[in-house]
Structure 1
Amino acid sequence: MYRFLLTPRWLGINLFAVLAVPVCVWLGVWQLGRFEQRTHAGDHRSAQAAALARPVPLAGLLQGSDAHTVAANDVGREISFSGQYDAAHQLLVPQRTVNGRSGYYVLTPLQPTGGGLRIAVVRGWTASATDLPAPPQGTVQLHGRLQTPEDASSPEVIGSGSLPAGQVGMISPSTLVNLLPYSVYDGWVALDGGDANLVAVPTYQPSGGNGLTLQAFQNLGYTGQWFVFAGFVIFMWARFVRREVEVARDRALGLEI
């Protein structure tokens, strides 16, 4: 009764089913692996964010052959440092928005304890360019987040040529070198809390998340989809076989088809 399975037509159908089922299963397993990778990547990001949230001494980041630049894995890192402000060269960075209001970043160079390159410290934000609070005198102990230099593509950056004295349009060594009598570190620090009644500025901070992103759920959906396809191939093959058996039985009984 099942000799029809050896006919050329059915050999093609059988071959298709034999190949399609494992391919669908393999694709489902692959998508399941992608789902696990994305969720584990979220765990890794959470661990990395937790590590970056622990303050580290700034001096440790200023060592090595590339100490003049901010390493990619140090962006947003919480740092602790001490030093003395250079109040004579305090600058304003205009057109910076905080809490929906446009104002100024107050940038004050700081000489880290132990020497080395000075670093630009954004002490906070103010709405007015007048009556600015003076930075603390003497050695100060600070906490903040390390940020990369700005570039001209940032929407808030404006040309320094149109600014009055004492203002800079971009926080970058390439612009600060024209206003300061010394070189600065290729990066800047935003204090955690606004200094001297200044408002703390928003900064980049790494976020971990739980890994259950939209992409992860898409991979999980694709996993189920491929397993459904595999089951559908088996179901249709069995249905076609049953139909063929019924047709053969009807022919044997001399029934009209």
Structure 2
Amino acid sequence: MYRFLLTPRWWGINVFAVLAIPFCIFMGSWQLGRFEDRVDSHRQQADRTAAAETAVARPLADLLPVDQVTSGRQARARGTYDAGHQLLVPDRTLDRKAGSRPGFYVLTPLRTDDGKALPVVRGWLPGDADNPADTAKVPAPPTGEVTVTGALQASENIDTSGVQAGGGLPKGQLGMISAASLVNIVPYPVHDAWITLGDSTAPLKAVPPAAAEGSGLDLKAFQNLGYTGEWFVFAGFVVFMWFRLFRREAEAARDLELGIGEGAGEVA
């Protein structure tokens, strides 16, 4: 009755099912592992951030280059603020909650002894970076040599101002905090990192450090979870279709043995 399983057609179907099901299960398990890794990374980053808030600040050179381990750590640097190249970073909020007020960061390069400047976000102000009434509230940076302490951050790779990097913003504004963006604005090399001061001078408000890239439960993490479900659904679909074809073929073979429906065994 089941001799049809030995036909070339069914050999092909069986080989496909035997290969497809483990492959789908493997890919689903891999995507699930990626999601779990992101959850663990998010938890570890949260623990590191909490620990960094009470940790003793370390020299900037000891924490570079910035990675998931050093991101958010308290860094210490000494130098002189370059008020002549102070920049405003528009369209920033202190958090992502609904109803949060729009505003802008105040970024001032700190000329350090190693010859490179460190971008320092001295704080955040509510308002519009294009409005003179709002920008007039920006306090001047301290003069002379100073020591700054703040949370270390990696260079951004997304322009949150809504304007493509490289143009569109007025002079004195910056859409993306990165060495690549600053290299054409300031006449000296810049560290591929920046810090946000934890103790800002009024009326500026301190900017909390952002999670390191790839360590949060972002859209990519939930995409991994969605792909996990898709691969397991594909595996189930292969099993379902195999049993559906098998049942049709078995019923056709049984009818043929009973002399009912001549040629039923040819049904696809």
* TM-score clears 0.5: yes
Gaps of 5+ in 2: 94-100, 126-133, 261-268
Q: 2:14 aligns with which of 18, 37, 50?
A: 18
Structure with larger Rg: 1
Query: 1:224 aligned to 2:233?
Result: yes
Gaps of 5+ in 1: 63-69, 252-257
Q: Deviations over 1:85-121 (max 9, x none)?
A: 525746431362334545561415264xxx5345232
Query: 1:92 aligned to 2:94?
Result: no
Q: Deviations over 1:180-209 (max 9, x none)?
A: xx6553432222453343123476422432
Residue identity over aligned pairs, in percent, reads 14
- Cα distance between partner residues in 2 of 1:230 and 1:150: 44
- Cα distance between partner residues in 1 of 2:158 and 2:253: 71
- Cα distance between partner residues in 2 of 1:246 and 1:156: 69
Structure 1 contact 145–190 (Cα < 8 Å) conserved: yes
Residue 82 (structure 1) aligns with: 76
Query: SS of 2:206's equivalent?
Result: coil
Residue 241 (structure 1) aligns with: 250
CA-based RMSD: 4.3
Shift of residue 122 of structure 1? 1.8
Residue 109 (structure 1) aligns with: 110
Amino acid at match of 2:75: F
Residue 67 (structure 1) aligns with: none
Matches within 5 A, 1:116-127: 116-117=114-115, 118-126=117-125, 127=134
Distance change (3 Å), C-alpha of 1:197 and 1:37 = same
Residue 199 (structure 1) aligns with: 205
The worse-fitting range, judged by mean Cα deviation, of 133-142 and 33-42 is: 133-142
- Cα distance between partner residues in 1 of 2:124 and 2:12: 68
Query: 1:61 aligned to 2:69?
Result: no
Structure 2 contact 123–200 (Cα < 8 Å) conserved: yes
- Cα distance between partner residues in 2 of 1:11 and 1:145: 66
Residue 185 (structure 1) aligns with: 191
Amino acid at match of 1:77: S
Distance change (3 Å), C-alpha of 1:197 and 1:23 = same
Distance change (3 Å), C-alpha of 1:204 and 1:223 = same
- Cα distance between partner residues in 2 of 1:23 and 1:105: 57
Q: Deviations over 1:69-99 (max 9, x none)?
A: x45x269811323355525746431362334
Query: SS of 1:78's equivalent?
Result: coil
Query: SS of 1:214's equivalent?
Result: helix
- Cα distance between partner residues in 1 of 2:158 and 2:9: 62
The worse-fitting range, judged by mean Cα deviation, of 213-222 and 134-143 is: 134-143
- Cα distance between partner residues in 1 of 2:138 and 2:221: 48
Shift of residue 12 of structure 1? 3.1
Residue 65 (structure 1) aligns with: none
TM-score by length of 2: 0.62
Residue 132 (structure 1) aligns with: 139
Amino acid at match of 1:208: G
Structure 1 contact 84–138 (Cα < 8 Å) conserved: yes
- Cα distance between partner residues in 2 of 1:40 and 1:152: 29
Q: 1:36 aligns with which of 13, 32, 40?
A: 32
Count of residues in correspondence between the two structures: 230
TM-score by length of 1: 0.64
Structure 2 contact 155–194 (Cα < 8 Å) conserved: yes
Distance change (3 Å), C-alpha of 1:60 and 1:148 = same
Residue 254 (structure 1) aligns with: none
Q: Deviations over 1:140-193 (max 9, x none)?
A: 46222323278999728687xx74xxx575764524643xxx655343222245
Structure 1 contact 119–187 (Cα < 8 Å) conserved: yes
Distance change (3 Å), C-alpha of 1:156 and 1:190 = farther
